[in-house]
Amino acid sequence: MKITRFQKFLMMNPFIQAFKFVYLSVKIMFVVASGHGSTREK
Amino acid sequence: MAKVVILGAGIAGHVAAAHLKRKLGKEHEVLVVSPNSNYQWVPSNIWVGIGKMKKEDVVFPLQPLYKRKGIGYKQAKVVAFYPEGSSQISKAHVSVEYVAGDKQGQQELIDYDYLINATGPKLAFDLTPGLSPGENDTYSVCTYGHATEAWHALDTLMNKVKSTGQKAKILIGTGHGKSTCQGAAFEYILNVEKVISDAGLRDKFEITWISNEFELGDFGMDGLLVKYGGKNITSKEMVESVFEHRGIKWITKAGVNKIEKGIAHYENLDGKQKEEHYDFAMLIPAFSGHGFKSYDENGEENTEKLFKGFMIVDADYTPKPYEQWTVQDWPETYQNPSYNNIFAPGIAFAPPHPISKPRKSANGTDISPSPPRTGMPSGITAKLVADNIIDQIKNKDGKLHHKGSLGNMGAACIASAGYGAFTGSGVSITTYPIVPDFKKYPDSHGRKLGKTFGDIGLAGHWLKLALHYAFLYKAKMKPFWWIIPE
């Protein structure tokens, strides 16, 4: 996998990344705050 | 009135102290014993190591905060454990030695009703001869002091290269065959590369990654299959693409076993001894337990009941091959099976086994990562331990209702790939679960796709910066700090 010039533009464009920031914040919160628990209890 | 003693004031110890005090109030005593006078937000040390943050940005003194919040504090290190009491005190206690102030060098016995061992790891630089921060041109970013020293050395080297036009070599990665925390080294190498590029010196530096991982992107997590840009890719492909893009060379399957000035000696999985030359190196040491001793009520040593390097908890420590490992091996309550009033969250507990497949070189040397247990799981496990102790104090039913296995817990790793408001970037990776569950997710390398995803870009830098401020706000216990999740 190679990072292309277009991908680099998307990665560093502040306007696009501002939306990405909101999206990632929500998604990360969903993953880490969606609970944890046992693996032994049925 | 119950007395809860917490050993250590890192992420796990501090989180436990904060929640215990908030929920137990003045009725019960919470006492923190730590040799460190400051709380440090360790994930931001990499920015101290490139001169973008100062020590003051990542630390704050513990004593004033604890005094304000009614949490007891002694700047001391634990010396020995007496979980059954001793001839001096019948109640369970620890002996501690003060490391600063008027009482420096004096020992004291501290009794407890509940004990939380959050002493974290010992940075075992001594396991690699010649590896010591500030010696032989090797440095570390494991503490803010080490990171400050690393930046001074890197800055000096950059100035030398600038003035002489000479080329220089940088080596970053792991400094032992069993090291962990590849993530921190990964962040540091990308940040160093950016600092050098920003200074217009990139063509003068050869930057090399060295690690004990079988392949790039292992991170001590056995690698990941992540959702990235709508596709499923491996963490190996992700890290390779970043390194190729930044012109960083890599050496994997390497167990560094000796450091001489400017030379890292290592053995690879083929059993060959090799060396890599450098002008500046940042190598993460092996982590080990602190070598604590424990004694029964008669003064007989019973360390084997409490420690197995790190502290023994409710894990399944039966030795078994990689193919038979399951998520059920991992602890859920972090309670010691011999003494039910002792707990060890964060990095202080002994893991049942690594997460990455263990590998030995042709000479029998272990060359594979130890399991990483970083900030987020440390905070989560500390909070659940605190909640179980609170339940026991208030309800006295002896049951542990709060459980959190690393096999049923998600985590996020926001790895900085360069600092800068509009030029920075970060690699954001989430994983669920932390320890792969191959039975539940057999087709996606033990993890749930979607909840295990990756992203690279400027937003990652902003996220890492936002987490820096949010977690320091939380650690300082400012208004509504408990709303911010661990």
For the segment B48-62, the average pLDDT, to the nearest whole number, is: 97
What pLDDT does residue B376 have?
86
What pLDDT does residue A31 have?
86
CB count, 10 Å around CB of B469? 12
For the segment B431-447, the average pLDDT, to the nearest whole number, is: 94
Tens digit of each residue's pLDDT (9 = 90 or more) over B75-121: 999 999 999 999 999 999 999 999 999 999 999 999 999 999 999 99
What pLDDT does residue B229 have?
79
Q: What average pLDDT does the structure give for chain B? A: 95
End-to-end CA distance of chain B: 28
Give yes or no for residue B227 having a pLDDT over 90. no
Give yes or no for residue B470 having a pLDDT over 80. yes
Give yes or no for residue A15 having a pLDDT over 80. yes
Closest among B454, B464, B458 to B235, alpha carbons compared: B454
| ipTM value | 0.95
Facing A36 at nearest CB: one of B380, B457, B466 = B380
What pLDDT does residue B259 have?
98
- Gap from B438 CA to chain A (nearest CA, Å): 13
Tens digit of each residue's pLDDT (9 = 90 or more) over B412-429: 889 999 999 999 999 999
B430 chain-A contacts, CB cut-off 8 A:
27-28, 31-32
- This prediction has a pTM of 0.96
Q: Where are the beta strands (DSSP E) in B99-154?
A: 107-111, 114-117, 122-124, 138-139
- B13/B376: higher pLDDT: B13
What pLDDT does residue B321 have?
95
Facing B328 at nearest CB: one of A13, A24, A40 = A40
CB count, 10 Å around CB of B453? 23
CB of B317 closer than 8 Å to CB of B308: yes
Q: Write down the H helix ranges in B281-433.
A: 303-306, 375-395
Give the whole-number percent of chain B exceeding pLDDT 90.
93
Question: Structural domains in chain B?
Answer: 3-123+288-395 (3.50.50.100)
Give yes or no for residue B474 having a pLDDT over 90. yes
The alpha carbon dihedral of B453, B455, B461, B462 has a sign of negative
> Quick one: tokens of B375?
């900030």
Tens digit of each residue's pLDDT (9 = 90 or more) over B131-164: 999 999 999 999 999 999 999 999 999 999 999 9
Give the whole-number percent of chain B exceeding pLDDT 70.
100
A39 chain-B contacts, CB cut-off 8 A:
327-328, 330, 332, 405, 407-408, 437
What pLDDT does residue B22 have?
96
Amino acid at position B360, single letter = K
- The three-class DSSP label of residue B96 is strand
Give yes or no for residue B297 having a pLDDT over 80. yes
Give yes or no for residue A34 having a pLDDT over 80. no
- B396/B172: higher pLDDT: B172
CB of B166 closer than 8 Å to CB of B205: no
What pLDDT does residue A42 have?
63
Residue A24 sits at the chain B interface (C-beta within 8 Å):
yes
Does the beta-carbon distance from B430 to A14 stay under 8 Å?
no
pLDDT band, very low/low/confident/very high, at A32 (cuts 50, 70, 90): confident
Tens digit of each residue's pLDDT (9 = 90 or more) over B23-40: 999 999 999 999 999 999
Facing B425 at nearest CB: one of A11, A37, A41 = A11
- B375/B11: higher pLDDT: B11
Task: Extract long-range pairs of B199-206: CB within 8 Å, 24+ residues apart.
Answer: B199/B158, B199/B162, B201/B158, B201/B161, B201/B162, B202/B247, B204/B161, B204/B165, B204/B166, B204/B167, B204/B168, B205/B161, B205/B167, B205/B168, B205/B169, B205/B170, B206/B167, B206/B168, B206/B169, B206/B170, B206/B249
Give yes or no for residue B301 having a pLDDT over 90. yes
A2 chain-B contacts, CB cut-off 8 A:
241, 244-245
pLDDT band, very low/low/confident/very high, at B305 (cuts 50, 70, 90): very high
What pLDDT does residue B72 have?
98
For the segment B397-404, the average pLDDT, to the nearest whole number, is: 89
